[in-house]
Amino acid sequence: MTGYLRMMTPAALALLASLAAPVAIAADAPAHDGVRHMPAFDLPLSPFLSAQAQAAARDGMAHGDPLAKMDNATLARELPRIRAETEAWAKGVVEPLRERYGVKISTATWNGVPVTLVQPRDASPAQRQRLLIELHGGSFVMGSAASFGMMEAIPVAAMTGVTVVSVDYRMGPEHRFPAASEDVATVYREALKHYAPQHIGLFGCSAGGVLTGESLAWFAKEKLPMPAAAGMFCAGGDARYRGDSRYVVAAVNDAPLPDAQGVLPIMEDLYYGAAVDFHDPLVSPVFSDAVLAQFPPLLFITGTRAAELSNVAYTHSRLVDLGRDADLHVWDGMGHAFHLNDALPESQQALRVIARFFRKHLELPEAPAATR
């Protein structure tokens, strides 16, 4: 460094000294409230998106999300219709998936909880000794194991060679927290009768990702052995999805913005109710180091246009800081739950990441190169 200083002119040295000196704030400078007021600008699609993803994004912008601006009172009133339409739409998506991946689908009841099982063909003896538990999305008010659950469970079962059991946990507004966590724990207890915990994985997307974190916290409370690994996809450890991306992505998607305290009514409120403490680690485990320190290896998947990005990044950073094994994968330009559309190259990439993660942590041999 001293050699560089000898080469500098007196004027350059003076400039360097001014930059290194403490910044003086004028006594009459107004205090800033910390709120950045953003000018409007045009945001093009990411140049990194595949042609298929660009087309899907344009279609999404053209049609919009009919639920994005629906208040919870209207949602509660319209919920029977929304649920019926969701299940009917999903049926048309799931059947082609079943045929394409060649899996067997059956239903059962585990200790009173309905489940849907996806069994891959030609599973090896080692694969038959493993189990993955899937938790479907739908904001804790809609969706099912047979609909949103199968969009995730079918490709994951086929790409890992492991049976996936999707849980039809209780939802709101008919049921309240912690009903879903209790149902997952019930299914997990049944799984432990037949599989070693180091051979079980747990994962879910959106509300299912939130529930994955809540279930791990519940397992810790109940002193159950942790599974070998878990995946929190399109979700983090804060059940309110707070952080910068909550604002930015709302603006990008023309959705309601949270207030200055980050408060925004969400569909999940119909499940949690008004009395839930969102800093309770059984609801939002990210706020308890003691709980996070017990978590198994975690995989996070999200996109830069997903409202949960900040929540996911913060949860990942807390786990890493605590010395836990945690992987974070972010796809540029992709939105919430993008991997459920398996027609997109980005989704296939994400599914390969998921399959490799569970193969590794459930101690299965690597898949042939052609299927990775």
Q: Name, in order, each residue with C-beta under 8 angstroms of 221's C-beta and a sequence gap of 6 or more.
A: 282
Burial class (CB in 10 A: 0-12, 13-18, 19+), 187: buried
Is residue 42 within 8 Å of residue 251, measured between CB atoms?
no
At residue 67 the predicted structure's pLDDT band, cuts being 50, 70 and 90, is confident
On the question of pLDDT at 12 being above 60, the answer is no
Share of residues in the chain with pLDDT > 70 (%): 89
| Fold annotation for 66-364 | Rossmann fold (3.40.50)
Give burial (CB, 10 Å; 0-12/13-18/19+) of 354: buried
Q: What is the pLDDT of residues 171-186, one digit of tens each?
A: 999 999 999 999 999 9
The H-or-E segment that residue 219 falls in is helix 207-221
Q: How many CB atoms lie within 10 A of CB 41?
A: 5
pTM exceeding the 0.75 threshold for the entire prediction? yes
362 pLDDT more than 80: yes
Mean pLDDT taken over the chain: 90
